[in-house]
Chains A and B, each alone.
Chain A
Amino acid sequence: MTVNSLQKSKAPRWFERVFTPSHNIQTVPAQWQWSVWLIAAIVLLPIIAVLWLTFFPEENIWPHLLDTVLPNYLSSTLLLMLGVGLLSSWIGISTAWVSTMYDFPGRRIFEWALLLPFAVPAYVIAYVYTDMLEYSGWVQTGLRGLFGWESARDYWFPHIRSLGGAILMLSLVLYPYIFMMVRATFIEQSASLRDAARTLGCNRREVFWRVSLPTARPALAVGLALVLMETLNDFGTVDYFAVRTLTAGIYDVWMNMGNIGGAAQIASVMMIFILVLIGFERYSRRRQKQFSRGDSFKTFQRVRLKGRKALACWLICALPLLLGFIVPVAALFRHAVVYFEDSWTTDFFHMSWNSFMLSSIAAICTIILGLILAYGNRLVKRGSVQKAVRLAGLGYAMPGAVLAVGVIMPLAAFDNAVDHLAREWLGVSTGLLLSGTLFAIIFAYIVRFLAVASGSIESSLEKVTPSMDMAARSLGYSTAEILRKVHLPMIKPGVLTAALVVFVDCMKELPATLVLRPFNFDTLATHVYQYASDEMLEASALAALVIVLVGIVPVILLSRSIIASRNEMVSVKPDSD
């Protein structure tokens, strides 16, 4: 830049236009670097606050925890992650594969419907299945009637409130992360790769294992990392099922031992877990650069299946949809009808609006910041920027309530400092400017979900070949123009997906919303929680149902538009295997 300005002063304007490029195509304006650092610094504030509590607790309970409960927390957390990781990958990959490669009755519906369980909060599904499968549920009652058993001591039935139950519940609502990411890759993978493998003698199974799955690894890693982070962070389900994970431990230490320092210490252990996960995601994406040319979405042919094979594919897709969406929604619907008159009030509309508004604003802000992070990282190939981007994602590792305390600390400190200055200089009190306002909640959402946005935008950007940037730069586009005019149109599906994920996540977010909200302010999630926390979810089933339904509107709209843009590239041929 200094070189440019020097030249400017010497040469006449026409000379400069003709003979000097307006900027070197390798030079990256410093703004990008600053922006990345600035964003990272701001979203890191709550995390620094939690680390502060970790290292300077009022009463150090760490030795006691290490001696007593921590090993137990760690082992159940690892088992839960392992179980959910395996099961959700299995569901996500199998459904993505058959719905991409084969044509069978219902496939068009499954393509988007398989995303629906994503809109169901884990605590809701846990509640519904407990209601159904526990002793007094209709399943066991029916079995007792059938076989004449009289009490729980007469027969064995798997306990839904167990580690296994928690794995099943979480996998059922989290697999869409993997389905979504992996499926996008399966479609984008250039068909020529698979064709080449076929001509080299691979059958379809071998193509899957040796070509498609390995090339889908980056997407799988992103999806899996998201699934595992959500698992780590889940409180509702593990609490309800009495599975003693680190998150459950945080609340025990905090609420019952009254020790926020100890809670922050466990939260920091969790952060280490997340750092390992992020490292794993990075590692599996290392040196993996597959670029698709703009035209490589060459028509590929989908195999039409009939008879038993079609039925098998249908079942693979129908089962997760049935268990993860239809059953819980039907149960909620039944309760909502029973309690309809109590629930259908003006308060209810306020809450719905609050949820929608907060989530939309948070999603838009998060996406904008995520874009700056991801694109800045692409432009500035420097370690420090990369690290800043990674660090900015750490908020995802924080359990919501602990994060909320982390948000309160810097905001309140800022408010009180401003108030102090105003009193001193102007003689007026400004009170609390940010604490206890919607800003606090939106800030918390951004900190919490920024990793979701920047992660998936980054993985979309990675697929755009750098030669595009170079071409655009040499034709005189600035870096910002490239983002707007070249990259955004190409990665639009990825950005929309990210926006959708953040929106739905915000709709469901509970603990941070509870702690940070202003007076007399309810969202659907906080309303549901009031009742669910007392094991009376039925009474708020309508609100829970709306969380799910509002959640699926963008799921359907966006996934349909993504599919529409892709299906043009796919044709169908009869099964020849």
Chain B
Amino acid sequence: MSQAHALKKAIAGLVLVAGSTVAVSVQAANEINIYSDRQAFLMQPILDAFTKETGIKVNVVFAKKGIIERLKNEGANSPADLLLTSNVSNLSRAVDAGVTQSVNDKTINSNVPAQYRDPNGQWFGLTTRARVIYASKTRVKEGEFQRYEDLADPKFKGRICTRKGGDTYNIALIASMIAAHGEAGAKSWLEGVKANLAQKPQGNDRAQVKAVKEGVCDIAIGNTYYYGHMLANEEQRAWAESVNIVYPNQADRGAHVNISGMALTKAAPHRAEALQLMRFLTENKAQKIYAEENYEFPIKAGVSASKLVAHWGDFKADKVSLAEVDKYRKQAAKLVNEVGFDN
């Protein structure tokens, strides 16, 4: 029958197209597959250095959302060996989803301080950055701002800018406040910060510094590496030059620090090569490239930060372990909604 024939032709065509797009995955021995939520252009120089040194090819998929779900559903057959993330919460989400495996490696353990890795070896930090205060050079007096707690002080009413409270970096900061003051204390603090905001939370950390430059607010919350990025950008240098970096809580617990990090996947078809890369990433050479590329602090003690970053001065970091802070992540996210921080 001709209608059946036409249908069959159409379906055959579709199947053909489908077939031609399915690449039969051949597992070459000498390669590593990475799922990353960090932009590939940040990672490429280090991965290139690794390939040059070892001859092992590195393949990357970058996506900000959904990689953990992809890993989980691919299960034991997943081609991915390594997960790279831009913050601690994605690492612990991966652990929660059961897609990582523990690593107990002497080199890695000695390179990454215990505070910045999972006690069970499920994830490891690679670089650190502090969540600091950018204070207007002209409108904030020296010493006027000293602690995260000051953000809720009514004297800063209408003077504070921040990205969304629901953003990963702010969630981690709020979680660290819960760790320090308990949930009730953190909630009233968050309400105080909300009351002091100059505008509805929006944009990324860079946009907040820009708002200070423009006079919208006097104080911005942001990660340290944005300062370096702004100085390196002709258009944005003026924004960075309008503010001072203030490391909060230097007289007590220290500034809140977050990490970029890595985890070995549970499936890891190229486990040995992946471990080799993990070690490489914590060693001097990669640490130096990675930290310089994104203006972060190397996680390995003794590796010096880039000249520019070193120039911002030493600071005291909060000693609480990130694994501990991360336990409060979900509570922190709920607080943001309860306070209506982003509304």
A residues whose Cβ falls under 8 Å from a Cβ of B:
29, 31-32, 35, 64-65, 67-69, 72, 135-136, 150-153, 161, 240-242, 244, 251-252, 254-258, 260, 361, 364-365, 368-369, 372, 401, 404-405, 408-409, 412-413, 415-416, 419, 429, 431-439, 442, 478-481, 483-484, 511, 514-521, 526, 530-531, 533-535
- 4 tightest CB-CB pairs across the interface, nearest first? A151-B215, A480-B3, A515-B66, A242-B202
Interface of chain A: mostly helix, strand, loop or mixed: helix
Contact A416 B333 (CB under 8 A): no
Residues of B within 8 A of A152 (CB): 214-216
Known A-B contacts: A412-B77, A416-B76, A515-B66. Give 13 more (CB < 8 A). Answer: A68-B340, A151-B215, A152-B216, A242-B342, A258-B330, A361-B17, A365-B14, A368-B14, A405-B69, A416-B74, A442-B21, A480-B2, A535-B203
Contact between chains at B21 and A515 (CB < 8 Å): no
Give the Cβ gap from B28 to chain A, nearest Cβ, in Å: 12
- Known: A29-B3, A534-B204. Contact between A68 and B338, CB under 8 A? yes
Flag B193-230 by CB within 8 Å of A: 1 or 0 each: 00000001111101100110111100000000000000
When chains A and B are docked, how far (Å) is the Cα of A258 from the Cα of B181? 23
Most buried by B among A365, A368, A520: A520
- The CA of A408 and the CA of B23, in the complex, are separated in Å by 16
Q: Is the CB of B73 within 8 A of A412?
A: yes
Contacts of B131 in A (CB 8 A): none
B residues less than 8 Å from A478 (CB atoms)? 1-3
Q: Is the CB of A31 within 8 A of B171?
A: no
Chain B residues, CB < 8 A from A431: 25, 27, 77, 79
21 contacts between A and B (CB under 8 A): A29-B1, A68-B337, A152-B215, A242-B164, A254-B65, A408-B73, A412-B70, A433-B24, A435-B70, A436-B61, A436-B79, A439-B21, A442-B21, A478-B3, A480-B3, A484-B6, A514-B63, A514-B64, A520-B60, A520-B61, A530-B40
Asked if residues B77 and A256 are in contact (CB atoms below 8 Å), the reply is no
Q: Chain A residue with minimal CB distance to B78?
A: A432
Decide yes or no whether B39 CB sits under 8 A from chain A.
yes
Q: Chain B residue with minimal CB distance to A483?
A: B6
For A242, A251, A526, which residue has the most chain B Cβ atoms within 10 angstroms?
Answer: A242
* Residue from A64, A372, A517 in contact with B7 in the complex, judged by beta carbons closer than 8 Å: A372
Are B69 and A433 in contact, CB atoms less than 8 angstroms apart? no
Partner of B65, one of A135, A153, A401: A401
B4 interfacial by beta-carbon distance below 8 Å: yes
Measured between C-beta atoms, what is the minimum distance from B129 to chain A in Å? 15
Q: A530 to B44: give the CA distance in the assembly, Å.
A: 13
A135–B216 contact, CB under 8 A? yes
Binding site of B, secondary structure by majority: helix, strand, loop or mixed?
helix
Given the known interface contacts A242-B164, A258-B89, A258-B96, the answer about A436 and B6 at a Cβ–Cβ threshold of 8 Å is no
B74: which A residues are within 8 A, CB to CB?
408, 412, 415-416, 432, 435-436
When distances are taken between beta carbons in the complex, the residues of chain A under 8 Å from B231 are none
* B136-168 vs A, Cβ < 8 Å mask (1 yes, 0 no): 000000000000000000000000000010111
CA distance A68 to B343 in the complex (A): 10
Q: Is B55 an interface residue, CB under 8 A from the partner?
A: no
Asked whether, in the complex, the Cβ of B329 is within 8 Å of the Cβ of A252, the reply is: no
A151 and B214 in contact, given A257-B334, A260-B69 (Cβ under 8 angstroms): yes
Q: Mark B38-82, 1 if CB is under 8 A from A, else 0.
A: 011100000000000000000111111111011001111111000
Please tell me if the beta carbons of B22 and A437 are within 8 angstroms of each other in the complex: yes
Known: A405-B69, A514-B66, A530-B39. A416 touches B77 (CB 8 A): yes
Chain A residues contacting B66 (CB-CB under 8 Å) are 401, 404-405, 408, 511, 514-515
* Contact pick for B4, options A29, A72, A519, CB 8 Å: A29
**Contact residues in A for B41 (Cβ distance below 8 Å):** 530
Q: Which residues of A contact B167 (CB under 8 A)?
A: 256
Q: Are A244 and B75 in contact (CB under 8 A)?
A: no
- When C-beta atoms are compared, the residue in chain B nearest to A479 turns out to be B3
CB distance from A154 to the nearest CB of B (A): 9
Check B202 against A535 for contact (C-beta < 8 Å).
no
State whether B77 touches A419 (Cβ < 8 A): yes
Residue of B nearest to A521 (CB): B61
Shortest CB distance B162–A (Å): 12
Chain B residues within 8 Å of A150, by CB: 215
Q: Are A530 and B6 in contact (CB under 8 A)?
A: no
Residues on B with beta carbons closer than 8 Å to the beta carbon of A151: 214-215
Looking across the interface, which residue of chain B has its beta carbon closest to that of A59?
Answer: B330
Q: In this assembly, does B5 line the interface, its C-beta being within 8 Å of a C-beta of chain A?
A: yes
Is the Cβ of A432 less than 8 Å from the Cβ of B79? yes
Which of A416, A437, A480 is close to B75, meaning CB atoms less than 8 Å apart?
A: A416
Contact B65 A244 (CB under 8 A): no
Tell me, in angstroms, the Cα distance from A311 to B221 when the chains sit together: 51
Known: A256-B333, A365-B14. A519 touches B60 (CB 8 A): yes
